[in-house]
Amino acid sequence: DSGIMGGSGSHEFMLESPNGEDQFVLCSHCGYQANTEKAVGVKPRIQELKDPENAPPLEKVHTPNIKTISDLMEFFGINRDQFVKSVAYLADGKLVLAAIRGDFEISETKLRNHLKAIKMEMAPEEVLLDKGYHPGFLSPIGINDPDISVVIDSSLGDGGLMVAGANEKDYHYKNVVPGRDFDNFTTIDIAEVREGDVCAQCGQGKLQIKRGIELGHTFKLGTKYTDENSMNVTYLDDQGKEQRVVMGCYGIGIERLMAAIVEKWHDENGIIWPVSIAPYDIYLIVIGKGEEEKNLGQKMYDTLSNDFEILWDDRSESPGVKFKDADLIGVPFRVVISTKLLKVNAVEVKVRETGEVFKSAPEEVSGKLIELKEKMRTSLR
């Protein structure tokens, strides 16, 4: 959805994730992928008019006390897909009526993009009543008002006999034939794709709706912002001819990217930052309050700082709390100095990703970690 950015097209980069804030559609057969606001599925033809020439004429029916679509289905003995659902919107202040087959939902983004509207909302009841339309009985039938534009979803293209509102309080029409009883309107795709719809791209696969995190978005802006009516930006090409600047723009969501990485890189104890982007390489913990421990801590900090970013946890918390926090924030390596380890001239290293723990002479730690980090970096998936 290029939205108000405009331009001729845009690509979204999504990471599939059950916690994603966005939805996208995936074809199980051809690999077609699109944002749900853009995706197109095949709209199955549910009923067919056997003999269009001799179809019964439009008939107005008194339908008092009918409030919901379920009431209507029961009253007329019809299925959801035999009902013309109509919704009125205010798009940049202009009244728009959108109609769709009852088994589909209107995609407001598709509609808004078609109308090129910046702001779109459901039309308030008083606006409709003011114009003589009745909420609950709306339909495209008989609308002949230059102030209201009507958009029809392609699902209504070739239906059979349907039921629709009569634009009159407590009345509906039956025997509605789209194309016969209303046809002078724009017909486009404004339907939300449904899980299991057949893919319009390959005609074979079933569409699945997945959640994802939007990591980036690229826009082809073309000359929207550089043409004469906008900023009027030109340059001289190698022939000395004036050309218009063509624009594109790229958005990367840094915070979303972090969220997406954590989504993939974590376990029950917390984050596991990949070494390539971890904000710190080493989580340093000194256990024991003696001078010797403290001095070794400072020495390790100074030595390791030549090659690594170090987070020295010098809070007065217990070792257990520090170990838990080290796992939680996911620093790739944990280095522990303690009285017990000092006695055997060793420090302890834990690798967050694998849980591997090993002892090392203090002067060898740096070399070992450089090697390990490089190995982990090159094996990143």
Please say which residue, 198 or 262, places its beta carbon nearer to Zn ion: 198
Nearer to Zn ion, 30 or 361 (CB): 30
State the nearest-atom distance from the C-beta of 32 to Zn ion, in Å: 4
Check if the beta carbon of residue 372 is closer than 8 Å to that of residue 335: no
Tell me the C-alpha distance between 24 and 22, whole Å: 7
The minimum distance between CB 157 and Zn ion, in angstroms, equals 21
CB of 142 vs Zn ion, minimal distance in Å: 39
For Zn ion, the closer CB: 206 or 220: 206
Q: Which of 4, 30, 122, 328 is close enough to bind Zn ion by CB under 5 A?
A: 30
Chain residues 64-103 in contact with Zn ion, contact rule CB under 5 A: none
Stretch that binds Zn ion, among 14-22, 50-58, 204-212, 263-271 (CB under 5 A): 204-212
Query: Tokens at residue 19, please?
Result: 């916690």
Which listed residue (32, 76, 225, 280) binds Zn ion by CB under 5 A?
A: 32
Residue 332 CA to residue 283 CA, distance in Å, equals: 8
Q: Which stretch binds Zn ion (CB under 5 A): 83-91, 202-210, 224-232, 335-343?
A: 202-210
Kindly tell me which residue out of 152, 199, 310, 369 binds Zn ion, with binding defined by CB under 5 A.
199
- Which range touches Zn ion (CB under 5 A), out of 29-37, 103-111, 231-239, 246-254? 29-37
Q: According to the binding rule CB under 5 A, does residue 209 interact with Zn ion? A: no
Residue 10 or 201: the one with the smaller Cβ distance to Zn ion is: 201
**Cβ nearer to Zn ion, comparing 27 with 349:** 27
Closest listed residue to residue 249, CA positions, set 230, 221, 224, 225:
221
Q: How far apart are CA 356 and CA 272, in angstroms?
A: 14
The burial class, CB within 10 Å (0-12 / 13-18 / 19+), for 300 is buried
For the record, the structure tokens of 127 come out as: 């606006």
Binding range to Zn ion, per CB under 5 A, among 20-28, 111-119, 282-290, 307-315: 20-28
Cβ distance to Zn ion smaller for residue 29 or 194: 29
Q: Of residues 120-149, which lie at the interface with Zn ion (CB under 5 A)? A: none
Stretch of residues binding Zn ion (CB under 5 A), selected from 15-23, 170-178, 201-209, 231-239: 201-209
Residue closer to Zn ion (CB basis): 199 or 351: 199
* Among the listed residues 183, 182, 184, 175, the one whose alpha carbon sits nearest the alpha carbon of residue 51: 175
Stretch that binds Zn ion, among 19-27, 65-73, 166-174, 239-247 (CB under 5 A): 19-27
Alpha-carbon distance of 22 to 327, in angstroms, equals 29
- Report how many residues bind Zn ion under the rule CB under 5 A: 8
Inter-helix orientation angle 362-378/291-304, to 10° = 40
Buried b / exposed e over 131-170, threshold 16 CB at 10 Å, is eebbbbbbbbbebeeeebbbbbbbbbebbbbbbbbbbbee
Q: Does 34 bind Zn ion (CB under 5 A)?
A: no
- The verdict on 311 binding Zn ion (CB under 5 A) reads no
Rg (CA), the chain: 32
Report the alpha-carbon distance of residue 132 to residue 121 in Å, rounded.
19
Q: Near Zn ion by CB under 5 A, which window of 41-49, 87-95, 122-130, 193-201?
A: 193-201
In the bound state with Zn ion, the residue whose beta carbon lies nearer, of 118 and 202, is: 202
**H or E segment and range at residue 62:** strand 59-62
The total of other beta-carbon atoms located within 10 Å of residue 87's CB is: 17
Task: Name the minimum Å distance from CB 78 to Zn ion.
Answer: 32
What is the nearest approach in angstroms of Zn ion to the Cβ of residue 40? 11
Task: Kindly tell me which residue out of 15, 25, 26, 27 binds Zn ion, with binding defined by CB under 5 A.
Answer: 27
Nearest to Zn ion of 107, 201 (CB atom): 201
Residue located via tokens 């709306």 = 138
C-alpha separations of 263 from 18, 155, 258, 273, 298 in Å? 9, 38, 8, 11, 35
Helix and strand numbers, DSSP H then E, in the chain = 8, 22
Q: How far is the CB of 118 from Zn ion (least distance, A)?
A: 33
Q: Which positions lie near Zn ion, rule CB under 5 A?
A: 27, 29-30, 32, 199, 201-202, 205
